[in-house]
Amino acid sequence: MPEQTRIDSATPTEHPLGDLGRRLATRRAQSGLTRPETATRAGMAPSYLKYLEEHPGATPGRGTLLSLAAALETTVSELTGGTADLPPGLEQAAGSPEFTELSTDECRSLLGTHGVGRIAVSTDSGPLVVPVNYSVVDGAIVFRTASGTTPSLAAGQQVAFEVDRIDDAFSRGWSVLVRGRGRAVTDPDEARRLADGAHSGPWAGGERELWMRVDMQAVTGRRITV
């Protein structure tokens, strides 16, 4: 079943700082765990976990990092940013993996409301795949780009859009594939509605005022579990 993130996994009083702190807080949110729950799993005081998340200069020992990695079902390299510039999926395959197809409802749930996905478009030189910051608004994939960029070529095309999550620590993951027709949003009212409903701007920055949407004509997905 789709993974659910608990609303109380982070509170407004928590202010993760530094590379390790942000990675710890992000992984907790992905796992749906509060600080006390994570601390209990890792065998430490919640106040110490708070310190690790909120002090950029914190330098826990390897034993502490191993305990936190086990509690959060990840790796020490992932928590410390050692895999930031490496592609996911470097670990060995599990001994008895199970491959399953996801239902349409599961796929839509995993798409969530926003994140980073990859859009595949046709160009004069062949197909290209590029990442975009997307949101799900009115049941469609929407993202902001600039005229003339590769993502803008989705206008008037049948395109593919893919999101996934890979868990190297346990050799498992899922992927969702959306197929549909791309369209440039030219109506000002619709563009304002998308801007109001979107959760994140383009990480690449710059002037990216063209809204694109992909209406989901087909949604499929798959999951590998151990």
Find the domain containing 60 and state its range: 7-80
Q: What does the DSSP 8-state code read for residue 154?
A: G
Question: What is the CATH classification number for the domain harbouring 70?
Answer: 1.10.260.40
Lowest mean pLDDT among 27-41, 122-136, 184-198: 184-198
* pLDDT tens, residue by residue, 176-207: 999 999 999 999 999 888 888 777 777 677 77
Please tell me whether residues 175 and 215 are part of one structural domain. Answer: yes
- Phi and psi at 77, nearest 5°, equal -60, -40
Residue 168 near residue 83 (C-beta atoms within 8 A):
yes
Cα three-residue angle 77-54-42, rounded to 5 degrees:
55
For residue 185, what are the β-bridge partners? none
Q: H/E element holding 51? A: helix 46-54
Please tell me whether residues 32 and 62 are part of one structural domain. Answer: yes
Domain count, the chain: 2
Q: What is the pTM of this model?
A: 0.67
Please tell me whether residues 76 and 143 are part of one structural domain. Answer: no
Amino acid found at 93: A
